[in-house]
Structure 1
Amino acid sequence: MTTGKTMAFNRIALLIVLALTSCASQRAAISAGELRNHVSWLAADEQEGREAGTDAAARSAVYLRRHLDAAGLIPAGDNGTYFQYFDIAAPSLEGASTLMIGNDVFDVNTLSASPAQTHHAQLVFADADDVEDMIVLAKSDGEIRAEVREAAANGAVAIVLASDEFVAFDAVPGKLPIAVVLIDIKLYEKLTLDVFNGKVNVRLKADVQKQTKRARNVLALSPGISGEVITVGAHFDHLGWGGEGSLAPGTYAVHNGADDNASGTAVLLELAEMWGANRGGPVVANRGVLFCFWSAEEKGLLGSDYWVENPTIPLPRVLANVNLDMVGRVAESKITVGSASTGDCFGEPLAVMQAYYAANEIDFKLNIMKGSLPGGGGSDHMSFHKKSIPAIFFFSGLHSDYHKPSDDAHKLAYPQMAVLADGLAEFIASLQVVADGFEYHKPQAPVDEEGEVRHVKRANVWFGSIPDYGAEPLDGGMQLSGTSPGSPAEKAGLLGGDILKQVADVEIFDIYDFMDSLSTFNNGDTIGVKFLRDGEMKTTQLTFFPRPVGSAGRPH
Structure 2
Amino acid sequence: MKKLFSLLFIIPALYSCSIAQNAQQKYADLITVESSKKHLTTLSSVEFEGRGTGQEGGRKAAEYIANEFKSYGLATPVNGSFYQPVALQQIAYQVENFSIDGDTWVNGKDFYVQADHDVRDFSANEIIFVGYGIQHADYNELNGIDVKGKVVLLINEGEPTDATGKSHITKENNKSEWSSSRFKRVQELTKLQPAAIFSTSSQVAETLAKMKGRLTGGRVMLGDGSNTNRNITQAVPVINISVATADQLLAKANTSVEKFKEAANRSFKPSAVQIKTSFLASMGVKVEKLSDPNVLGLLEGSDLKDEIIVVSGHYDHDGILPDGTIFPGADDNGSGTVGVLELARAFSQAKKEGKGPRRSILFIGLAAEEKGLLGSKYYTENPIFPLANTVACLNLDMIGRIDDKHLAGNHNYIHAIGTDKLSSELKKITEASNKEYTQMEVDFTYDDPKDPMRLYYRSDHYNFAQKGIPSAFFFSGLHPDYHTPNDTVDKIDFPMMVKREKLVFHVTWEIANRAQRLTVDSNKE
TM-score, normalised via structure 2 length: 0.61
1:147 and 1:310 map into 2 onto residues whose CA distance is 46
1:213 to 278, 281, 290: 290
The match for 2:419 is: 340
Residue identity matched to 1:35? S
**1:231-380 pair list within 5 angstroms:** 231-242=310-321, 252-276=324-348, 280=352, 283-330=355-402, 332-344=411-423, 345-357=425-437, 363-369=439-445, 370-372=447-449, 374-377=453-456, 378-380=458-460
How many angstroms does 1:364 deviate by?
2.0
The match for 2:306 is: 227
CA contact (8 A) 1:23 1:283 kept: yes
Is 1:418 matched up with 2:498?
yes
1:312 and 1:110 map into 2 onto residues whose CA distance is 43
Residue identity matched to 2:490? H
2:42 counterpart SS class: helix
1:194 and 1:384 map into 2 onto residues whose CA distance is 62
1:276 counterpart SS class: helix
Residue identity matched to 2:116? S
Is 1:76 matched up with 2:81?
no
Residue identity matched to 1:80? G
Residue identity matched to 2:346? M
Is 1:59 matched up with 2:60?
yes
The match for 2:468 is: 388
What does the per-residue CA deviation read over 1:90-121, in whole Å, with 9 as the maximum and x for residues that have no partner? 64434899xxxxxxxxxxx9947625499xxx
**1:161-240 pair list within 5 angstroms:** 161-164=197-200, 178-182=234-238, 207-224=284-301, 225-240=304-319
How many angstroms does 1:56 deviate by?
1.8
Change (3 A) 1:112 1:218: farther
CA contact (8 A) 1:376 1:382 kept: no
How many angstroms does 1:76 deviate by?
2.3
1:179 and 1:326 map into 2 onto residues whose CA distance is 41
2:370 and 2:295 map into 1 onto residues whose CA distance is 16
Name the larger-Rg structure: 2
How many angstroms does 1:236 deviate by?
1.0
Task: Give unmatched runs, 5+ long, in structure 2.
Answer: 1-13, 99-110, 121-132, 137-152, 159-180, 220-231, 251-259, 261-268, 273-281, 403-409
How many angstroms does 1:407 deviate by?
1.1
2:90 and 2:287 map into 1 onto residues whose CA distance is 7
1:221 counterpart SS class: strand
1:80 and 1:179 map into 2 onto residues whose CA distance is 46
Task: Give unmatched runs, 5+ long, in structure 1.
Answer: 1-13, 98-108, 119-124, 129-136, 196-204, 244-250, 445-556
2:420 counterpart SS class: helix
1:27 counterpart SS class: helix
2:291 counterpart SS class: strand
Aligned pair count reads: 382
The match for 1:439 is: 520
Which range is displaced more, 428-437 or 293-302? 428-437
Residue identity matched to 1:392? A
Change (3 A) 1:325 1:172: closer
2:270 and 2:16 map into 1 onto residues whose CA distance is 82
1:15 and 1:390 map into 2 onto residues whose CA distance is 32
Is 1:93 matched up with 2:126?
no
2:383 and 2:134 map into 1 onto residues whose CA distance is 47
What does the per-residue CA deviation read over 1:105-154, in whole Å, with 9 as the maximum and x for residues that have no partner? xxxx9947625499xxxxxx9999xxxxxxxx986459xxx9779999xx
CA contact (8 A) 1:221 1:290 kept: yes
2:71 and 2:419 map into 1 onto residues whose CA distance is 33
2:503 and 2:346 map into 1 onto residues whose CA distance is 13
2:287 and 2:499 map into 1 onto residues whose CA distance is 46
CA contact (8 A) 2:307 2:391 kept: yes
How many angstroms does 1:282 deviate by?
6.7
Change (3 A) 1:319 1:206: same
2:315 and 2:387 map into 1 onto residues whose CA distance is 23
What does the per-residue CA deviation read over 1:499-556, in whole Å, with 9 as the maximum and x for residues that have no partner? xxxxxxxxxxxxxxxxxxxxxxxxxxxxxxxxxxxxxxxxxxxxxxxxxxxxxxxxxx
CA contact (8 A) 1:235 1:325 kept: yes
More contact order relative to length (CA 8 Å, sep ≥ 6): 2
